[in-house]
Amino acid sequence: MSKPEYDAVVVGSGPNGLAAAIVLQQAGLSVLLLEGKDQLGGGLRTTELTLPGFRHDVCSAIHPLAAGSPFFQTLPLAQYGLEYIVPPVAAAHPFDDGTAATVRNSLADTARRLGADEGAYRRLLEPLVADWPGIVNDVLAPLQLPSKPLDMARFGLSALQPATLLTKRFQTRDARGLFAGMAAHAIQPLGNLTTSAIGLVLLIAAHRRGWPLPKGGSQSIADALAAHFVALGGRVQTGTYIKSLADLPAAKAVLFDITPAQLLQIAGHSLSAVYQWQLRRYRYGMGVFKIDWALDAPIPFTAEGCRQTATVHLGGTLEEIAVGEKAAARGAHPDKPFVLLAQQSLFDDTRAPAGKHTAWAYCHVPNGSRVDMTAAIEQQVERFAPGFRERIIGRHTFDTAQMEAYNPNYVGGDINGGLLDISQLFTRPALRASPYRTSKPGLYLCSSATPPGGGVHGMCGYHAASRALRDVFGLYPTPLFQEPVGS
């Protein structure tokens, strides 16, 4: 039998594929990273979508999870030019009366501005923010025995609740709406179990490190990760789209940064019947309709808080957001969708020509929708920023099919790599002793379709590569970063 050309091959250069490749290369293996497109990054790409000189984040934009990733923090990414910019306000949530609730980097300042809900906010968040260094490596991991079970239980008791239930702790419109906007990042109806989890994680991140954006665009994160991988001795090959296992060079281990739909297409014939059956039952969630704008001036938000942040949640009250998200999950297109908006150029002057600006936004739509939501999204922005439309000088849109064509992992426009509800929280993509192993020895999944799920944190890649190191090579990965408790 001929010697494998590489010890390991990683297919896909999103944050998880890059993380997996680095973990394997750190262990002293020979690793090849394959990318179908000519540009690395997956969901971490930045390019001129509208007009020359306007640099837009194609997929992800704001990166609290990347900055706080236990794996990324072990890497010297600043050496490769990665610089995070932290706005003074993590996120803002405007209302129709011209005011906005804001998440400040200071927990105490955030709570104080919530008036009658100051105490409730502090009681909910202060223990979790304090506990976070001891539980983050368990939260961002597959199901396992936690190192701090009592602290993990405290987080879990709140995180497993539907957002509509957890918000009953709050009396005010501001606190309830603010948390609803955070929970809507779950991309599912707010009445579902576990929708509070992402809201809590995002608030904890805000109060520990803020919500940063990478200078120059999300591509900067991918470029820094790739540069570190190459510096370690790894090899990168772009423009190589894998359609079957026969397209791969010989290797002892292959890790795919793809979701079950693509794995079935590439390797279905080599997988067990039971595993194929499980993958076919895997469910994808709502898609997104996305817009990028070139602007001749900043968005004229009425509320001052919205002008102090790169991230704005547009949806009004908790009740309005809950109705819209439920409708989209059931196949409808709300007239007033919940809109996630980023205005990176307010803080990063590399994004647009002098005096000009960029903005980025999306709303949730039924999976596979081809409905143009431009008017609905722009009306939501105009609602809280009168005069916005007059400042648009360029526009680029993605519907769900165009999102999937750009990144095949976004099946039906689902940017989370699959629905992250209670039924798939611990079994994504299939019920197995290790979620990263497929039924074929040496073949692994390292994408957001594995725990801990979507987001730019690289932890799916870290855990998948760690599993492959132990299974195939009898090696152990670099330990994760342990943030000092109380920092």
Quick: pLDDT tens for 389-416.
Answer: 999 999 999 999 999 999 999 999 999 9
> What pairing do the DSSP bridges indicate for beta strands 100-104 and 84-85?
unpaired
Contact predicate 102/162, CB 8 Å: no
What residue ranges define each of the domains in the chain, with the CATH number in brackets? 6-45+66-82+214-282+417-473 (3.50.50.60)
DSSP readout, 424-470?
HHTTSS--SSSTTB-SSTTEEE-STTSTT-SSSS-HHHHHHHHHHII
The number of angstroms, rounded, from the C-alpha of 427 to the middle of its chain's C-alpha atoms is 19
The number of angstroms, rounded, from the C-alpha of 131 to the middle of its chain's C-alpha atoms is 22
Phi-psi region of 237 (alpha: psi -120 to 50; beta: other; left: phi over 0): beta
Max Cα-Cα span within the chain: 73
Taken as a whole, the chain contains a residue count of 487
Instruction: For the chain, 487 residues long, give each residue's pLDDT as a single digit of tens.
Output: 456 789 999 999 999 999 999 999 999 999 999 999 999 999 999 999 999 999 999 999 999 999 999 999 999 999 999 999 999 999 999 999 999 999 999 999 999 999 999 999 999 999 999 999 999 999 999 989 999 999 999 999 999 999 999 999 999 999 999 999 999 999 999 999 999 999 999 999 999 999 999 999 999 999 999 999 999 999 999 999 999 999 999 999 999 999 999 999 999 999 999 999 999 999 999 999 999 999 999 999 999 999 999 999 999 999 999 999 999 999 999 999 999 999 999 999 999 999 999 999 999 999 999 999 999 999 999 999 999 999 999 999 999 999 999 999 999 999 999 999 998 988 899 999 999 999 999 999 999 999 999 999 999 999 999 999 999 999 998 889 887 766 5
pTM of structure: 0.96
- pLDDT for the residue numbered 423: 87
Cα 262 to Cα 12, 312, 443, 466: the distances in Å are 12, 33, 14, 22
- pLDDT for the residue numbered 1: 40
Per-residue pLDDT tens over the stretch 443-467:
999 999 999 999 999 999 999 999 9
H helices present in 330-448, as ranges: 374-384, 400-406, 422-425
Peptide bond into 429 cis (omega under 30): yes
Contact predicate 158/168, CB 8 Å: no
Residue 7, helix vs strand vs coil: strand
* Distance in angstroms (rounded) separating the CA atoms of residues 309 and 107: 16
Cα 404 to Cα 163, 290, 411: the distances in Å are 29, 12, 6
